[in-house]
Amino acid sequence: MFGFKQRRRKRWQSQPLNPEWIEIIRRNIPYYQYLTSQEQIELQGHIQIFLHEKDFEGCGGLEITDEIRVTIAAQACILLLHRKTDYFPLTSSILVYPHHYFALSSRRLPGGIVEEGIQGREGESWKGGPIVLSWDDVLKGAADPHDGRNVVLHEFAHELDGESGAMDGAPPLSKATMYRTWARVLSHEYEELLVDLEQNHRHLIDSYGATNPAEFFAVVTEEFFEIPVQLKSRHPELYEQMCLFYQQDPASRLISGSK
């Protein structure tokens, strides 16, 4: 069964991406221009597999189009470049709303306060469940690749995290020897964020990362890809751990691409 799945994926991966889809990627995802030609080809192969294996469902009256499917798939698959992957095996479906949607939320604030209520959401990811996204926010997150905010990267980072068995900020690492350093660095950075927020100090990492370690990992993933130069400069150990996990160096990629 595993061999059949691998052969099927290789067949899909070898198929050229529809030129109209490539144009969608170029138009909607400016980050694509920073990838090398080899990375773009690799990404296109991942997109083919992703689109064959994931189901999309429109919610709130939204009709799913190729633009929606390709725009979401391309951003999610940026997380898979250069890595051995099983293509987000914890989820098989993506639900897409046209705009912000509302859901009951619970959020930990500095000082141990828990805030509960109805909250407008851009997206969410649940272990064993679908990924939910707001199409407006998908487009907004992709349009500015340097603002540190990208809902697709955020929610699919949760999916990678959950492959360890729990969404707790400790995704499966490629080597057992990496876990000790990962835990030390990310725990230190997370606690530092909590302290800075309690003391009203400015911090590069968005305050939503203080919610819990899982959100910290997802928020840092957004910033790793979108503001990597700043992250590397101010949090070098954290940046190095993310480089090792994602097998990418976005800071070098963006510097080279801006020349």
The pTM (predicted TM-score) of the whole model is: 0.91
> 195 near 208, Cβ under 8 Å?
no
Task: Let me know how long the chain is.
Answer: 259
Tens of pLDDT, residues 150-170? 999 999 999 999 999 999 999
Q: How confident is the model at residue 120 (pLDDT cuts 50, 70, 90)?
A: low
- State the pLDDT at residue 251: 97
Q: How confident is the model at residue 2 (pLDDT cuts 50, 70, 90)?
A: low
Note the pLDDT tens digit of each residue in 210-242.
999 999 999 999 999 999 999 999 999 999 999
pLDDT attached to residue 127: 78
For the chain, what percent of residues have pLDDT higher than 70?
Answer: 92
Higher pLDDT, 104 or 51: 51
Position 254 scores a pLDDT of 83
State residue 112's pLDDT score.
Answer: 65
The domains found in the chain, sorted by start residue, are 2-257 (3.40.390.10)
The chain-wide mean pLDDT, for the chain, equals 92
Q: What's the token pair of residue 76? A: 């999610």
pLDDT tens digits, one per residue of 11-56: 999 999 999 999 999 999 999 999 999 999 999 999 999 999 999 9
Residues 244-253 have a mean pLDDT of 96
Judged against a pLDDT cut of 80, whether residue 107 lies above it is answered with no
